[in-house]
Amino acid sequence: MTQANSWFERQLPALLISRFDDFLAVQGDISFQVGEAAWTLTFGDVEEPVKKGATPKAALRLRFSPPAFQAFVDGTLDPVAAIGRGEVKASGELELLAILATFMMPLQRDLGWDAG
């Protein structure tokens, strides 16, 4: 299983479940092309939120080279440089990318007290 397959089939669904209420509140879809493989994330779809294949009319369409996608997932992607090199292309509602980024951030739980 490639790292992209693992991310779309395991890690991304787990992120969506961890923030399920937020996931249900968002509308729109993101089509990802990573090398020759493609997936579509549909916010609010409880039956099949991530499916193989690109949706041509997705609200946001992203294309990544495999190394750029890995850097995106790792949080090390320099988007300006990657776009300049042609490793990343985006079209559509970029707000959805910002929303996805919030799902990818670790959950912060403030207990309201300092245990130290």
CATH number for the domain running over 3-104: 3.30.1050.10
Whether 107 has a pLDDT exceeding 60, the answer reads no
Whether 112 has a pLDDT exceeding 80, the answer reads no
Full-model pTM: 0.83
Q: What angle do CA 4, 57, 67 make, to 5 degrees?
A: 25
Closest to 29 (Cα-Cα) out of 48, 52, 66, 55: 55
Domain boundaries, the chain: 3-104
CA dist., res. 80 & res. 66, Å (int): 17
pLDDT at residue number 75: 85
Whether 33 has a pLDDT exceeding 80, the answer reads yes
